[in-house]
Amino acid sequence: MSVRCRFAPAPSGQLHVGGARTALFNWMFARHQEGAFILRVEDTDASRVTEESVDQLKEALRWLGLDWDEGPDAGGDAGPYRQTERLEVYREVAADLRNRDLAYPCYCTPEELAERRKAAEARGEPPRYDGRCRRLTDEERAAFEAEGRPAALRFATGGKDVTVNDLIRGEATFPGSDIEDFIVMRSNGVPTYLLAAAVDDHRMGMTHVIRGEDLFASTPRQMLLFEAFGANPPRYAHVPLIVGPDRQPLSKRHGAVAVETFREEGILPEALFNYLALLGWSPGEEEILPREELIRRFDISAVQHHPAAFDPQKLEWMNGHYIRELPDEELTARVMPFLRDAGIDADDATVLAAVPFIKERMKTLREAGDLLRFLFEDVTPDQRASKVIAKAGPAHLKEAAARLAEVEEWRAPEIERVLTELQEGSGLSRREAWQPVRAAVTGSTVSPPLFESIELLGRERTLERLDRSAGNSPPES
């Protein structure tokens, strides 16, 4: 049978990197096996899932390069692929389970359930459902129906042990005594996750279910549902959680956690794809690998058992590598939106000329704004640059301006020759001689290489900034 796996989120906001990694592992597994990757939207919780969130999800997946063979916007023979469009399917299955005495109506109110669980805890017993409504007589059920009491539908587990052979976690047996009768259909006619996911995985022909380990506890109950359907369950693989530096589940307190946020910060999709692929799985000693090679090497059984720590610094290091590998024209195209977002009115030609000199200094695309702003706007030296200018004194900057004014060919090599002569004649180190010039012309002590920066800025603006900084400098003490 051809491999079929899915990513089935309940989108309620931006795509968390944990969900993105789960989608990525499913996608790589499907592509490695030459199978199908299906996107299914679990949107039965109308209080959480919005249309905007669904659109955000699809856009984030597309940005990462994760295309789906079946699902919203792609179609497929197993659709529809949104659970709100499959409610009748779930109700038909629930009715069939009840007709076969595999499920029964439960009239217990939330208050009654809470009271009984509290009493069980007080007795030192597990706070699970006690099966009361399974033992109701026909007369007792009729009485509840007559008073109009709402009823959920519970699946009767039968007390059977269930063994899960997980592709990542290995084999685990769940004692039947620990698996309580569980709700499959709420009293309002909306299915629970346990039923809807199992029905969809069955009807859509999923061969493998790769999902977060937080859903591991639901697996034995869904396997019991597959048995009730008269079908073999898929193979399960539960991926460990992603944690922060403090080993706690990754959340906003650790910084950026959403795919959209990393995109806005200037992380390349190629870098985030590569980084997430290595969160909990290793293809070997190499860390920078194109997605085709990651797909070729991917092995779900080699995913580690313990949580993977998210390291933003390593992601930025990897992003810097991918930035340096981009052709200048491509890097220019990717940088331009970030310059516009920073309010910089940049032209493509100047940026194209500048990117060869900044790509070695960039870890994110957003950093291009700080590095290139001086080329497109008049700048005021920042606090650090002002200190450097003040320390050098006006005479040094005036001499630099005078020497540069005599340069005939305004090119980086000639600019370097002139400023080197100034440095050597002054008895200053290169840093002492050149850093004040950099601070004056770029407004910062961090910029593209100095001589290329001056060439790109042009003679007139360079001399004007040097003269202005010299005039504004305090007198030497």
CA distance readout (Å), 99 to 40, 104, 201, 425, 435: 29, 9, 22, 98, 83
8-state DSSP, 377:
S
**Both structure tokens of 101:** 């005495």
> Catalytic amino acids?
252
Helices (H), 393-428: 394-405, 412-426
Burial of 100 (0-12, 13-18, 19+ CB in 10 A): exposed
Cβ neighbors of 112 (< 8 A, separation 6 or more) are none
Q: Which residue has the tokens 């700080």?
A: 370
Residue of 137, 142, 226 whose CA lies nearest to 184: 226
8-state DSSP, 159:
T
Cβ neighbors of 304 (< 8 A, separation 6 or more) are 240, 280, 281, 282
Q: What angle do CA 205, 207, 210 make, to 5 degrees?
A: 120
**d(C-alpha 312, C-alpha 69), whole Å:** 31
**d(C-alpha 219, C-alpha 203), whole Å:** 17
Q: At what angle do helices 193-203 and 87-99 cross, to 10 degrees?
A: 100
Cβ atoms of 334 and 303 closer than 8 Å: no
Q: Is the peptide bond before 80 cis (omega within 30 degrees of 0)?
A: yes
Cβ atoms of 338 and 369 closer than 8 Å: yes
**d(C-alpha 345, C-alpha 177), whole Å:** 68
Instruction: List, as one string, the DSSP characters of 221-234.
Output: HHHHHHHHHT-PPP
CA 69 to chain centre: 21
For residue 160, give the 3-state DSSP assignment.
Answer: coil
Cβ atoms of 399 and 419 closer than 8 Å: no
